[in-house]
Structure 1
Amino acid sequence: MSRMTTPNTALRAVRAGMRMSQDDFARALQAAGHRAGEPNDANKRLVQRWESGAIAAPRPVYARALEVVTGLPISLLGFAEVPGGRTTEDQHGGHDLASPMSDLATPTPARRPTATHGSHEGVWLSRYQYHSSGRAESFAGQHYVVVIQHGDRLNVRSLPGSAPSSLSLDLTVDGSVVTGTWVEQTDPGGYYRGARYHGAIQLMAEPTGRRMAGKWVGFGKDMDVNTGPWELIFQDASTSKATLDRYNVPIG
């Protein structure tokens, strides 16, 4: 009897939102693996099998590349989870069995109650301030964001339900110094009418591991260079779907 499969619409939607073909996506996965020193053989056929549901979950080497390319935890990419954090493919004789998924997708607060000991993974509150020259007033932008860490690289993406605009940061950690870039796609129905802004950011991580604070720099509508304060405040070490659903709400 043939086994019914359920298409992975979440992964397909993420890939489509990145405006990548299946070939483009596979090449990005290969590049991410190469940069991390974990080469993989991602190809269009593999992406098709994931999206069709023929493969319910990726091997760990692919899971890590998927998180790097999409900036999202594996728990949000529509793959099956099994008890103990192992992927379905692992349970059926997949390779890389020495790399458990439990450290990638669903760490529990009992194991990592704070963002300490070199790990910044989890849910954070992002808050920055900016001055609007057109309104002659200062404002604050707030998002709940999910942080995925691979080595010294942090991929930060806003949870879409937490704010009308979308935010992403790509950061590198060097001790207590966190440096990188940011991109914000503003609310299409808001004052900036969906304009896309980007710039650089540098933060200092506090020894407690519960806060990063620093400055952003970026350009204004008249091509002038602006700057302002930015902070990330730790909320939860888990990146499980249940945890992210809890924070995927408007910030009061």
Structure 2
Amino acid sequence: MSTPNTALRAVRTGMRMSQDDFARALQSAGYRTGEPNDANKRLVQRWESGAIAAPRPLYVRALEVVTGLPIELLGFASVTGESVAGNDRDGHDLSSSLSDLSELVAPTTTPRPAGAHGSYGGVWRSRYQYHSSGRNQSYAGQHFVVVIQHGDRLTARSLPGSAPSALSLDVTVDGSVITGTWVEQTDPAGYYRGARYHGAIQLLVEPTGRRMAGKWVGFGKDLTVNTGPWELVFQEASTSKATLDRYNVVPDDV
């Protein structure tokens, strides 16, 4: 008898996504990372029901990008060294046979080793500054974020208890340069009333690999282009549930 994946369902519902919404987000993440997938509502249902004990690596990466959590915290069994079988419509189940693997698994992009870019996975403290034209005052936004790394790609998602807004970063590592995009869903009860802002970000990694600092760019009112400083400071490499619970709090002012 299959054991329902209550962890994945709790994460999805906590993100206020339907199964359809979640599947579309997985597809979008696949296109952004250069690994298109065929996620659909049926596949999400099979994951949550426990009919599929572990997803293909293709979906592992998409799940981590969308949720901002390591696969170990999403209620799945390890897929390391396992083969998969199934179909593109409903996903893939674990199989002990390797005979037809080449026909069943579509080719995927193999990321370069993480060591070539440094190792950045773990919990980081994010802090950026911005000027509010409506209030004519400068402010700082702070979050604890979980960084997931696949080769030269980093995905960061804020822990929900660290701020009333939700922050995400999708960036690429090129030596000591970090370049990508950011999205922030502001607090529905705050000054910006749940508005969604997005833009670009570029950071330089210090030689220690434990601090990134640079600038963000984004649009403001009347098509103005705004910018400001942004830094991320490493806190801990672990992404265990106990660690994330510990950082799921509002950062102290610095």
TM-score (ref. length: structure 2): 0.75
Match of 2:175?
175
Is 1:141–2:141 an aligned residue pair?
yes
Q: Higher mean Cα deviation, 225-234 or 52-61?
A: 52-61
Amino acid at match of 1:161: G
Is 1:73–2:75 an aligned residue pair?
no
Matched residue SS, 1:119: coil
- The correspondence for 2:45, drawn from 31, 48, 53, is 48
Match of 1:57?
54
> Given the superposition, is the C-alpha separation of residues 143 and 202 from structure 1 closer, same or farther in structure 2, using an over 3 Å criterion?
same
RMSD: 3.3
Contact 1:125–1:142 at 8 Å: present in 2 too?
yes
Shift of 1:137: 1.4
Shift of 1:66: 2.1
- Report matched runs for 1:108-187 at 5 Å: 118-187=118-187
Matched residue SS, 1:17: coil
Amino acid at match of 1:51: E
Whole-angstrom distance in 1 between the partners of 2:97 and 2:137: 56
Shift of 1:150: 1.3
Whole-angstrom distance in 2 between the partners of 1:23 and 1:140: 34
Match of 2:87?
none
Is 1:6–2:4 an aligned residue pair?
yes
Shift of 1:61: 4.2
Contact 2:2–2:50 at 8 Å: present in 1 too?
no
Matched residue SS, 1:222: helix
> Given the superposition, is the C-alpha separation of residues 29 and 128 from structure 1 closer, same or farther in structure 2, using an over 3 Å criterion?
closer
Shift of 1:18: 7.5
Shift of 1:158: 0.6
Whole-angstrom distance in 1 between the partners of 2:171 and 2:248: 22
Shift of 1:45: 3.9
Is 1:191–2:173 an aligned residue pair?
no
> Given the superposition, is the C-alpha separation of residues 95 and 187 from structure 1 closer, same or farther in structure 2, using an over 3 Å criterion?
farther
Q: Higher mean Cα deviation, 66-75 or 152-161?
A: 66-75
Match of 1:233?
233
Contact 1:32–1:65 at 8 Å: present in 2 too?
no
Whole-angstrom distance in 2 between the partners of 1:239 and 1:57: 19
Contact 1:152–1:172 at 8 Å: present in 2 too?
yes
Contact 1:15–1:21 at 8 Å: present in 2 too?
no
Shift of 1:32: 6.9
Q: Which runs of 5+ in 1 are unaligned?
A: 97-114
Whole-angstrom distance in 2 between the partners of 1:52 and 1:142: 36
